[in-house]
Structure 1
């Protein structure tokens, strides 16, 4: 039987490993990427702020969200492959197990919230 000397990890290695694990955890939890949009995600909901006038999209919570168009206070977005027309203050639109609401519309940006349905 061969005895191997186990060396304890140094504090620097422990810290580096912890930071790498935290970074990976944050990336997995966020699960989002975007082009022409900013995302702010939690475990079961994301706020997406699209830039107007560009081909804006975001991959969030396992689905694609795209800004199709905006005119006045009405916005058309595509979420999980389905187009939705939204206005501020309307009840959430249901699509593919998600609830989608329009938070704000300006000349420069459109902000929506996409949340997993509790039952979906």
Structure 2
């Protein structure tokens, strides 16, 4: 059975939409996602955490340039302006540190 061109286009558009939604799964209020990257904002307080792309990231400590996070049970240290670090199947890099919160870029 042949599928007409309009039906193929609709099927392709639907498949693209489903894939896009799958990539955004796990993004909450403190997470802003695009197709291949999320920006995560975490409060600088004890027990603050966020779920991003199915992985939990917990705030551990921070100073003005370095942040320590617990990602999927592994502690990582991010330094502003330094190379990204892989943990929990994702790549993390530090965007900013303020007295109230940290902002981290996360990608697959």
Q: Normalized against structure 1, the TM-score is what?
A: 0.64
Equivalent residue in structure 2 for 1:38, among 16, 30, 33: 30
Distance 2:74 2:68 in 1: 10
Deviation at 1:103, TM superposition (A): 0.3
Contact 1:52 1:107 in 2 (8 A): yes
Q: 1:40-74, CA deviations, whole angstroms, 9 ceiling, x for partnerless residues?
A: 01233211111112421111111111111112311
Q: Would the alpha carbon gap of residues 72 and 39 (structure 1) be closer, same or farther in structure 2, given more than 3 Å must change?
A: same
User: Does structure 1 residue 84 correspond to structure 2 residue 76?
Assistant: yes
- Unpaired segments ≥5 residues, structure 2: 1-16
User: Larger Cα Rg: Structure 1 or Structure 2?
Assistant: 1
User: Does structure 1 residue 101 correspond to structure 2 residue 93?
Assistant: yes
Q: In terms of mean alpha carbon deviation, does 105-114 or 77-86 score higher?
A: 77-86
Equivalent residue of 2:30, what SS? strand
Q: Counterparts of 1:4-19 in structure 2 under 5 Å?
A: none
- Unpaired segments ≥5 residues, structure 1: 1-21
Query: What is the aligned residue count?
Result: 92
Deviation at 1:29, TM superposition (A): 4.3
Q: 1:26-49, CA deviations, whole angstroms, 9 ceiling, x for partnerless residues?
A: 875432255xx7110123321111
Which structure has more RCO (C-alpha within 8 Å, separation ≥ 6)? Answer: 2
Please tell me the root mean square deviation across aligned C-alpha atoms, in Å.
Answer: 2.4
Ranges of 4+ aligned residues in structure 1 off by more than 6 Å? 24-27
